[in-house]
Amino acid sequence: MLKLMSVPVSNLGPNLTVSKLCLGTMTFGEQNTFPQSLRLLDQAFHAGINFFDSAEMYPVPQRAETQGRCEEYLGRWIRQRKIPRDRLVIATKVAGPSGQMTWIRGGPTCLDASNIMEAIDNSLLRMQMDYIDLYQIHWPDRYVPMFGETDYDPVRQYPSISIDEQLEALSRAVEAGKIRYIGLSNETPYGVMKFIQAAEKFASYPKIVSLQNSYSLLCRTFDSAMAECCHQESISLLAYSPLAMGLLSGKYFSPSGGPEDARFNLFKGKYSEGESRYNLSNKVMQAAAKEYLNLAKTYGLHPVSLAIAFVLRNPLVASAVFGATKSWQLQEVLNACKINLTSEVIEEIDKIHSRFPNPCP
């Protein structure tokens, strides 16, 4: 059985370390039944993964009938297996303003104090836990270009809840023992710095310790301004979609277009967030992905190993947040932790990136 090295996360505290891989649970309750989810969780845990990520809105594609199942399954697994709570790092997220998920606090409409506290209490109830290790704002309570958008449009700004109010609510949750640490997700350098500035005004406010943003061979936007921000402020990156929603595995480029139960085939036309960012008809994206697949073949690497090893070599990455619906997919990611990319491979990766920069932002 492969044993992973745990990686300490900066400023999370002396008693909190996370594995280099974090199993994301957003397929649990939709693509994966409860027994299937149990087997994946067992496999991950026995391989050395102690870090598990969820969100109140999961699974995806999001719908009222399944909302919350990921958290529920995660909590049931811990209780059924009688795993000591201090052996796990459990992360989850509060959904930002949407207006589309009316079954979650009416939209959700905003991230005011009452919404944040209600979301935390509901997550704890679903997971049957006393506390959450890392609680994250899933996306900002303000307009930002995200999920495939790149250009900021000031006209689209809307009234939003102040960062002070959001941070004050999270501070109360920390003081109450409901959460231990806080993080952001799908954020910008501006947002990260505003949270840091707000925390510096009041000694009782918790500091942001992590940022969960997309990072992969096809999306290296983090490496510009955000990398400096996180480095200077000792914030760790939790890199989600290290396989670019499966594109970097190569499965969608087979003559058949990939397995019928692959996410983009199974939910075609029903998963706008994923399809807008990882657009299978995007010729630039296709060309870039195929270049990386050919590079892996040239150097005798599994394409999953190339993609995961690239993400993990970044010194600012504390953990790569990945998903798997099948045992063999999980094992492919575990195997990637054995790989150290040579300088020659990295040079070739950078050449491809210079030709096809960030086709999946």
Locate the DSSP E strands across the chain. 6-8, 17-19, 21-24, 51-53, 89-94, 132-137, 179-185, 208-214, 236-240, 317-322
Residue 66's pLDDT is 98
Written as tens digits, the pLDDT of the chain (361 aa) is 334 433 333 335 556 789 999 999 999 999 999 999 999 999 999 999 999 999 999 999 999 999 999 999 999 999 999 999 999 999 999 999 998 999 999 999 999 999 999 999 999 999 999 999 999 999 999 999 988 888 999 999 999 999 999 999 999 999 999 999 999 999 999 999 999 999 999 888 999 999 999 999 999 999 999 999 999 999 999 999 999 999 999 999 988 888 888 888 988 887 777 888 888 889 999 999 999 999 999 999 999 999 999 999 999 999 999 999 999 999 999 999 889 999 999 999 999 999 999 999 9
% of the chain surpassing 90 pLDDT: 83
Measured from the Cβ of residue 348, the count of other Cβ atoms closer than 10 Å reads 18
Residue 319's pLDDT is 94
pLDDT digits (tens, 9 = 90+) for 154-187: 999 999 999 999 999 999 999 999 999 999 999 9
Q: Classify each residue of 278-302 as buried b or exposed e, where b means 16 or more C-beta atoms within 10 Å of its C-beta.
A: bbbebeebbebbebbbebbeeeebb
Distance from the Cα of residue 243 to its chain's centroid = 12
The CATH-assigned architecture of domain 6-247+303-341 is Alpha-Beta Barrel (3.20)
Amino acid at 280: L
> How does DSSP assign 70-112, residue by residue?
HHHHHHHHHHHHT--GGG-EEEEEE----SSBTTTTTBT----
pLDDT digits (tens, 9 = 90+) for 36-51: 999 999 999 999 999 9
Which residues are the active-site residues? 58
Query: Token digits for 206?
Result: 């918790």
Residue 151's pLDDT is 92
Q: Is 156 exposed, middle or buried (0-12, 13-18, 19+ CB in 10 A)?
A: exposed
Q: In what helix (H) or strand (E) does residue 168 lie, and over which residues does it extend?
A: helix 163-175
Residue 6's pLDDT is 38
Residue 3's pLDDT is 41
Confidence (pTM) = 0.95
> How does DSSP assign 104-142, residue by residue?
TTTBT----HHHHHHHHHHHHHHHT-S-EEEEEESS-SS
Residue 99's pLDDT is 87
Residue 270's pLDDT is 79
Residue 291's pLDDT is 98
- Enumerate the domain spans of the chain: 6-247+303-341
Residue 14's pLDDT is 52
